[in-house]
Amino acid sequence: MNAFVSGVVALGFSAHGAQAETLRLLTWGGYAPDSVIELFEEKYPDIDVEVTFSNNEEMVAKLRATGGSGYDLAQPSVSRIKAAQAEYGIYKPMDLSQVDTSVFQPNMMEAMEKYAEIDGEIYSIPHVWGTQGLVVDISKAPEVEGWTDLCDPQYKGRVSMRLKRALLLGFAFDTGKDPFAAYDDFEAYEAMIDEIGETLIDCKDNVKTYWTGGDDLSALLLSGEIVVSDAWDSTAFKLYKENPDIRFIPTRTGALAWIDTFTLPKRGEADDAAYKWINFVNQPEIVTMISESSGAVSAVKGGVELMPEGAREAVAAAFDEEALDNLKFMPSVPPGLEDLEGRVLDRVKAATSE
């Protein structure tokens, strides 16, 4: 064997002499920090973790394009399981015997049974949960309570928005509609979303910029360029530690609640490694590390208590019992609705460039 071939062969083996396995993880930013990956690879030296950061729409698109191959573990929200599986067949059932499900809050597993069960099999395991509502500098915008306040003329030029479906849903609820109740009536849903789109176009002068990432939004709020935006609660919780006047507002109609999951792509090749990762990140000390990185609350029992101290304070400042009881958990999205929403949001985006 020549030196070149010897070198190539060596690359495929771990320090223990066994061929290394790669766990290809398709996940959100903050859910797989380098510090956690290092600890995992120390415990499992025969597994290398390869991370691709993404979001709900991109995850489904990537797996759809490959027929469920290219990744071994994905983390879509539970609302993206049933419809995506029905349309594209990109996932495979979980083997619950490989996961210690006793660590999860009961309502989190109940949500999996409700939103991720297909033909009697569970397709997802909960990882973290959180909400979407508003982030507000209460020292500069103390009156903000709901989504439509983003269009209040007194905040002209000091507002940001993210052009994603949560914005449409939030405005719908705040204008007295129930978008989830309309999911099964495509024409009614289309009329409602078209109306919301026109509202967003009409208040475009209020918007300084449309944010795309949490870091962008954080910079805008900390600099004082904007005073209110729609946001993930995790972004607001991080900002609270730097400026306690920046708060998450669950809104008068209730925050939109989501659960991000662990889901196996249909043609993943490292199921054993995937289950090892799932169980590893549910350990208390790892839960705290991921909460620190992501700002999200773990689905394990006592997830709030396992958050870093500053984040726990931010959660307490944002949510009382009434706000928690008023959460609007996002159900599975029926086929076709996201395409409709995308077209409406494209119209809003095009209008902003005039």
Contact by Cβ (8 Å): 330, 79: yes
Q: What is the DSSP letter of 234?
A: H
Contact by Cβ (8 Å): 205, 152: no
What are the φ and ψ backbone dihedral angles of 108, each rounded to 5 degrees?
Answer: -70, -40
pLDDT at res. 352: 58
Supply angle C-alpha 145, 198, 82, rounded to 5. Answer: 80
pLDDT at res. 18: 55
Please give the span between the terminal C-alpha atoms of the chain, in angstroms, as a whole number.
65
Query: Up-side HSE of residue 272: CA atoms within 13 Å toward CB?
Result: 6
258 forms bridges with which residues in the sheet? 130
Cα maximum dimension of the chain? 75
Per-residue pLDDT 10s for the chain (354 aa) are 444 433 433 344 444 445 789 999 999 999 999 999 999 999 999 999 999 999 999 999 999 999 999 999 999 999 999 989 999 999 999 999 999 999 999 989 999 999 999 999 999 999 999 999 999 999 999 999 999 999 999 999 999 999 999 999 999 999 999 999 999 999 999 999 999 999 999 999 999 999 998 899 999 999 999 999 999 998 999 899 899 999 999 999 999 999 999 999 999 999 999 999 999 999 999 999 999 999 899 999 999 899 988 888 888 889 888 988 888 989 888 888 989 999 999 999 999 544
Give the helix ranges, DSSP H, for the chain.
3-11, 34-43, 56-66, 82-88, 106-115, 165-174, 186-202, 214-223, 233-242, 271-281, 284-294, 309-318, 321-325, 337-352
The pTM of this model reads 0.76
Q: 81 exposed, middle or buried (CB, 10 Å; 0-12, 13-18, 19+)?
A: buried
DSSP string, 115-132: HSEETTEE--EEEEEEEE
pLDDT at res. 13: 43
Q: What is the DSSP letter of 334?
A: P
Contact by Cβ (8 Å): 222, 242: yes
Residue of 327, 339, 149 whose CA lies nearest to 250: 327
Residue of 191, 237, 193 whose CA lies nearest to 218: 237
Residue of 310, 46, 58, 348 whose CA lies nearest to 193: 348
